[in-house]
Amino acid sequence: MTSDEPSSRPNLGVAVLAAGRGTRMRSALPKVLHPVCGRPMAEHVVRAAAALRPRRIAVVVGYGAEQVQRALASEEWPLVFVEQPELLGTADAVARCREALADCTDVLVLNGDSPLVTPGLLRRLVDARGGAPLALVYARVPDAGRFGRLVRDSAGRVIRIDESPPGYRGNPEQVAERNAGQYAFDARWLWEHVARVPRSESGEYYLTHLAAVASAAGTPAVAVEAPAEEILGVDDRAALAEAERILRGRLLAAAMAAGVTIVDPATTYLEADVEFSEDVTLLPGCHLSGRTRVGAGSVIGPGTILRSAIVGRECHIELSVIEDSRLGDRVHVGPYSHVRGGADIGDDCFLGNFAEVKNSRLGPRVKMHHFSYVGDADVGEDTNIAAGTITCNFDGVTKHRTTIGRGVLLGSDTMLVAPVSVGDGARTGAGAVVTVDIPPGALAVGVPARVVREEPTSGRGA
């Protein structure tokens, strides 16, 4: 079964519980918005649920409701938001989804702080319910700690879920079946019974009470076992780091299975939205994030950062940073270079050590070997930018653009004071400070630069 196949329940609704603040996180950011491998943890849950193609996904919001809605709203999935103004527990949160999921015959309940859940587990849960009123997920752990644990009768049937008392730290020598807080319900049964859940001593209404209700009626819950890591709930920064480690391991394994060579997975950081073509090589110390795309045969690293970078085929980027920019095919960058701010680097360009390009377009085969800065510029094909050349693009108030034609040779330490243009085939002498436009084919030297010779452009940069 592939990851995007629907579940066996065509009228499936999903409730994602995402209303809590997460006080143990010690953060103003709602807990479910803390990122795990580049995505808010609740988005991982929504994506896993969306893979089952449900009729609707209701996200229960409370603390930071507007932030959560902005972060999760997308046309990718059938999402609605349900507000829980007072945090009165999981049963109260689910009950508030009744109207949003009224046309669903099955309801899947998930926690927004469990980012490692997979579509495969959710399908197993939905399918396992059969004719029972509910099914639930559990994992065998050394101790359930402060989380709920399954209690069974002598025949192995689930009779209830015991919640740990406040302050309970558990017994690490005792193996327990920890409740994951993930459930599949018959919708009619759920709506009939969730409104009757009694208030606990803590003042909250716990969804776990329904396991005892089902058992008392002679229709006990179906229990589905899962790996402990897949039900990990993130309640504090340590658990957040653990979730990050586990998910990053999955991403690295998936990339290698898809044809990417990762020389040292332990020093390679990937986020969930990064994509690769085949035969990419990642050398040690690489950090790839955002919507980065890497073309076939490219070698990245060592020590390279790509943030939302589009990298073409057969590129080599070493000890450099590429941000929000595009590189064509067979581009070399580095060491110690920085490409940023929407730069567009053409095929077969060479950016050597300590080169920076910002918000500029470089045509094919531009050479910029070392110690140069090009910002807010358009550079034609086959141009050579010698060491120390910079565009002076900011006058203290406004940033101006520089236009450099085809086949231009800029001498070392040339200063291009924008707005200014250099025509096709033109040249500058070393140390020239260009404050006026240079005609095609001309040679300009001096401070300020002046044209000392004009030549026909035939054969230059054509």
Q: Give me the active site residues, please.
A: 370
Q: Which amino acid is at 386?
A: A
Count of other CB atoms within 10 angstroms of residue 388: 17
Taking residue 400's Cβ as centre, other Cβ atoms within 10 Å add up to: 17
Q: Residue 352 is encoded by which pair of tokens?
A: 């050597």
**Which pair of structure tokens corresponds to residue 199?**
């208030």
Helix, strand, coil percentages (3-state) for the chain, rounded to 5, are 20, 35, 50
Closest CA to 240 of 68, 414, 44: 44
173 burial (CB, 10 Å; 0-12 / 13-18 / 19+) is exposed
Q: Are 160 and 212 in contact (CB under 8 A)?
A: yes
Cα torsion 252, 254, 260, 261: sign: positive
Structure tokens given for 221: 């819950």
Instruction: Report the SS3 class of residue 43.
Output: helix
β-strands 176-186, 261-262: how paired?
unpaired
**Nearest by Cα to 395 from 413, 416, 411:** 416
Asked if residue 425 lies in contact with residue 408, where contact means CB atoms within 8 angstroms, the answer is: yes
Nearest partner of 352 among 373, 333, 326, judged by Cα: 333
Q: Are 55 and 11 a contacting pair, CB within 8 Å?
A: yes
Count CB neighbours of 259 within 10 A: 12
**What residue type is assigned to position 51 of the chain?**
A
Instruction: With H, G, I as helix, E, B as strand and everything else as coil, classify residue 94.
Output: helix
Q: Which of 55, 59, 77 is nearest to 11 (CA)?
A: 55
Please give the structure tokens belonging to residue 140. 């065998």
* Distance (Å, whole) CA 436 – CA 444: 10
